[in-house]
Structure 1
């Protein structure tokens, strides 16, 4: 189980293959696929023009650690106060395990948002910038991180709970900014069901007895397809296959990333900006 407090939600939908394979009545009524853009995301007009991308050539390299170098400007290190200031902060529980975990969880979630909101991920996989697709990518990268945290046992699961709570608040803000305040509670319940349905689907797709194209099918249904049932054309099929390779590579790379870098958030998903120029 990913989170002790959400175990019931997971068990209730563990039999789902992929929630998004069935169209949601709520999202059909509210125009889920065309809701305003996510919080703090760049508008479509700000996105660069798409370059031709040869998807068949992408994401074949071997996984490698995603830890940020010690001299990376992207690193966020714990403040190392000394003397009286450190003593006072210790008294105020600034260095307690809970406080340290919350700070780490915030940095981790910023790494997820940085990957999901970058224009490059939409360009590379030929995706539109809609609420539905942005949310699908957010869930996918949350799953990648929570799966890695779970590998560290209870300590990782506990940290994952903090990440999930930050994610939940951020999604609420995004939905509210999308202009559906009157149905906010209903939307949040629906999005929670989608979240856990997708998590179960991706976990199943990586099981030893899963078929080779299971992950590709799940990604097609959850990310690319409007209703989860249509058959992809050749372009979309290539994009889904490329995303499956990307996901498998990130799974392997996160596993190779050391615990300290993961827990502190000092890692970065594979950059996609330079992929858009691959032909």
Structure 2
């Protein structure tokens, strides 16, 4: 396993020149329990709402995600916060013996909360309504990958500790995807499906990370969003204003969420006490 893992790390370290899994011939099919520091090291870019957005977005979508990034951490008095359970006496003693308070246990609980935050954004109608998307398995999976990348990219800023936390998050995500594939009726070829989805996962995050590099082409993120989320057949970017506006808006959303997460403190990230930017339907434009 380690040689394969080493090849994956080498491939991701060349993210400046890698555009997809296909362009990195050494990229392996990783086992279900490996996380390849998915948000690989990249220089910090400066935020610009128009960076990577060709043309003008139409109507309501064009007004979204233009505001200055801010921390996504929940306020201390927010009812949405999830706190570590506090026990005393014999219960505390027994739980301590069972390693309930160990760093690993706390990280796993925190990673579960983080993944629930991702699901709260990806599984609910607003994100599909805002970007005019059809809720299919492929679409939901693509959005899951996008938001996983956003979180893993932020965790990478915390060094080794963030990478270890990201490992737990990735395993939770992987288990959820496996359940979704099974629920979709795939059983006999489940292993093959999971390997294929794993390739897509790593290919997408390499493309997104490459698009965020300072020397990336102006429309690189828009093109990556189009290829990995909106396009079903690898066709070129359309000229339809409605479709183009939605793709551009999602690129702005992804870029802004990335910078918002970079402003979100470590405690919020490791406990899951943050929320992605709230989305509203396109008939009620928000000032994100």
Aligned counterpart in structure 2 of residue 127 of structure 1, from 130, 133, 137: 133
Q: How many residues align?
A: 246
- 1:152 aligns with 158
Rounded Cα–Cα distance in structure 2 between residues aligned with 1:236 and 1:275 = 13
Structure number having the greater helix percentage: 1
| In structure 2, C-alpha distance between the alignment counterparts of 1:92 and 1:200, rounded to whole Å | 39
1:218 maps to which residue? 224
CA distance in 1, matches of 2:252, 2:156: 22
2:62 is the alignment partner of 1:60: no
2:242 to 221, 230, 235: 235
Aligned position for 2:258: 251
The yes-or-no answer on 1:190 pairing with 2:192 is: no
Question: Who is 2:270 aligned against?
Answer: 263
Consecutive unaligned residues in structure 1, runs of 5 or more: 22-51
SS of the equivalent of 1:165 reads helix
Cα distance, 1:231 vs structure 2: 3.0
For 1:35, the equivalent position in structure 2 comes to none
Q: Decide whether the 8 Å contact of 1:60 with 1:245 is kept in 2.
A: yes
The reply on whether 1:98 has 2:104 as its aligned counterpart is yes
CA contact (8 A) 2:129 2:282 kept: no
Q: Which runs of 5+ in 2 are unaligned?
A: 24-57
Question: Relative to structure 2, which stretch is displaced further, 197-206 or 68-77?
Answer: 68-77
* Correspondence 1:23-102 to 2 at 5 A: 54-102=60-108
Superposed displacement of residue 82, structure 1: 2.0
State TM-score, norm by structure 2.
Answer: 0.80
CA RMSD of aligned residues (A): 2.2
TM-score (norm 1): 0.83
Query: Retained in 2: the 8 A contact 1:16–1:197?
Result: no
